[in-house]
Amino acid sequence: MYQMYDTVLAAMATTGGDPISNIIVASIFGAAIAVLAGMAPALGQGIALGRAVEAVGRQPEAAGQVRAMFLLGAVVAETGAIYGLTVSLILIFANPFVTMYQNAMGL
């Protein structure tokens, strides 16, 4: 974690102290962290699918219920990845922090 913080500070130092560039650099690192948040739901869905297949293998007559519960859990888990993607796209393409800075400075 501290290594990422040092990387952000080093990237900000190369911008020459321009506040808007610093905001953009920090936003890109924030977007990267938000995208990484999508990895956990993917791992969880893989584990859940494996367990669902095991459950159907043990009790084939319960396949319908297992499928329904797996799909519900996958949908709920996927929302975290979608939120992370949405936050990262907003930070990269429609950065509200740059606009707030420009409004505060009267630019």
3-state secondary structure of 38: coil
Q: Domain limits at 31? A: 2-96
pLDDT digits (tens, 9 = 90+) for 56-73: 899 989 888 888 888 888
The answer to pTM > 0.95 is: no
Do the domain assignments include residue 27? yes
Nearest of 42, 38, 25, 10 to residue 97 by alpha carbon: 25
Residue with tokens 């040092």: 6
Nearest of 8, 18, 17, 23 to residue 97 by alpha carbon: 23
How confident is the model at residue 84, as a pLDDT? 85
pLDDT confidence tier of residue 14, bands split at 50, 70 and 90: low
CA–CA separation, 91 vs 97, rounded Å?
8
Q: How far apart are the two ends of the chain, measured CA to CA in Å?
A: 34
pLDDT, mean of residues 25-45: 83
Number of domains in the chain: 1
